[in-house]
Structure 1
Amino acid sequence: MNMLLTDRDRWQSTLGWQPTDVQLGQFQQLYEAILTANQQVNLTRITSPEDFWEKHLWDSLQGVAPWLVEAELGAPPRQVVDIGTGGGFPGLPVALVFPHWAIALMDATRKKLVALETVCATLGMANISYLPQRAEQVAHQPRHREAYDLALLRAVGSANTCAEYALPLLQLGGQAILYRGQWTTAEEASLATILPRLGGQLLAVRSQKTPLSQGIRHNVILSKVERTPDKFPRLPGMPAKTPLA
């Protein structure tokens, strides 16, 4: 077992939280299962234990840091959608730490979700569902529109594009967490301009240094305050090609 993946002190010093013995074992299992699946389908280029810990496990969970202590106390159920999950991040680590949350992994690349089904079966994860479609399609389906408490988006597109994907899927009062690297005042101003059209507002921007490489990570947190007009999101491809401005 890799010591880095099971180092409680490192979690405590960076996030003010530490996983249980069971969760540490699950993180190790997840690492091994992802590496196995990666031999068949390109899920991630990040395969060293150090990079996997920082760029996948730690980074996935720092985005939901405000809920980590709540998880220890027994987090209330939440409906969560991981938009553009790719290799299963941040959705899979979040699902392991919050077993009472229902996590929908959304990705337009069906073969990635098929590989992630195998990973989840290996770990016995029962709180995962799969959406092999684009966000622009899912958000117009009645069972998914305004159905989620929390949307997670990592490495998906510009902030304005992410907002158009996420806000139609959120219930009133729901939140979207945009995982970003650098974050500029210009990006924030542009995002703030378009959010009212989508029924959203900017709740907060959190920044943190990554514990090993000392890079900067930002979480841009949006809140759903009004219903999103039915015309959003626009047709597939449009939010990415011509972001709202």
Structure 2
Amino acid sequence: MTPEQFASELEKKGIDLQENQLQQFATYFKVLVEWNEKMNLTALTSQTDVYLKHFYDSISAAFYVDLSKVDSICDVGAGAGFPSIPLKICYPHLHITIVDSLKKRIGFLNHLASELDLQHVSFYHDRAEIFGRNKLHREKYDIVTARAVARMSVLTELCMPLCKKGGKFVAMKGAQADDEIDKGTRAITLLGGELKETHTFTLPFEQGERSIIVVDKVKETPKKFPRKPGTPNKEPIE
């Protein structure tokens, strides 16, 4: 996917990028490739792959959730900033919080935010299990999202405690999402969620399958969740 195709495909979805936003994506690609030479941020480094499988793929969450009416997003395990930084470029009004367990990635994100001149972005070096118990962040966000971080049963425990009642947990998945949903249903209910909808689609050009799982936060998450670091992965709620 070229930058021109990227802009065209987003326009079809009602997202009309201005010249300064297209320049931000160009800078994002440049900085990502430069930093990837000294630390492992992504296995995808060609312009075609980054624009399609990182930028476009990240923004696909906005095809199914109206971000124009959302104020805050918390992105758990964002790595190189996906999906929240591409979403922030498209929707500059968003207040973005990213939590990631690797300090080097937080260093990259701080540099990236400076290069892109992003406002209202905060990056935290922390484990999601600890972050989710912090009163400053627990049940504070309109949308909590994660992309390819962990299976649904685990991801729900990491993300739902951060989502405010009335907000949404948006999980971005590849193929075979149905199986993950089946195994994650108990965790969703137990942590105060209600599965609203699942959207499955294919990426343009290369036809890779993707799924967007939207969970409404209908009740407060019980205080005992999230459990200690590492426990959700070792003993998932299934």
Asked whether the two chains share a fold, i.e. TM above 0.5, the reply is: yes
How much has 1:183 moved relative to structure 2?
A: 2.6
Which consecutive aligned stretches of 4+ in structure 1 deviate over 6 angstroms post-superposition?
none
Task: Select 1:183's aligned residue among 154, 165, 176.
Answer: 176
Q: Distance in 2 between matches of 1:9 and 1:186?
A: 33
Partner of 2:232: 239
Q: Please, which runs of 5 or more residues in structure 2 have no aligned partner? A: none
Q: Establish whether residue 121 from structure 1 lines up as the match of residue 114 from structure 2.
A: yes
Partner of 2:161: 168
Q: Could you list the per-position Cα deviations for residues 59-111 of structure 1 after superposition, in whole angstroms to 9, with x for gaps in the alignment? A: 000012235xx66xxx3451111100111111110111111111111100011
Q: Distance in 2 between matches of 1:218 and 1:90?
A: 14
Q: Could you list the per-position Cα deviations for residues 178-227 of structure 1 after superposition, in whole angstroms to 9, with x for gaps in the alignment? A: 11111354432222233221000101000110112111100111110000
Task: Select 1:54's aligned residue among 52, 57, 69.
Answer: 52
Partner of 2:24: 26
Partner of 2:205: 212
Partner of 2:105: 112
Q: Is the 8 A contact 1:30 1:123 kept in 2?
A: yes
Over the matched positions of the two proteins, sequence identity in percent amounts to 30
Q: 1:93/1:184 Cα in 2 relative to 1: closer, same or farther (>3 Å)?
A: closer
Q: Is the 8 A contact 1:37 1:119 kept in 2?
A: no
Q: Please, which runs of 5 or more residues in structure 1 have no aligned partner? A: none
Please report the TM-score for the alignment, with normalisation by the length of structure 2: 0.94
Q: Distance in 1 between matches of 2:236 and 2:168?
A: 20
Partner of 1:83: 76
Partner of 2:4: 6
Please report the TM-score for the alignment, with normalisation by the length of structure 1: 0.91
Number of equivalences: 237
Q: Distance in 1 between matches of 2:109 and 2:220?
A: 32
Partner of 1:150: 143
SS of the residue corresponding to residue 86 of structure 1 reads coil
Q: Distance in 1 between matches of 2:173 and 2:181?
A: 12
SS of the residue corresponding to residue 99 of structure 1 reads coil
Q: Is the 8 A contact 1:90 1:154 kept in 2?
A: yes
How much has 1:244 moved relative to structure 2?
A: 0.3
**Pairs within 5 Å for 1:218-237:** 218-237=211-230
How much has 1:12 moved relative to structure 2?
A: 2.9
How much has 1:41 moved relative to structure 2?
A: 2.0
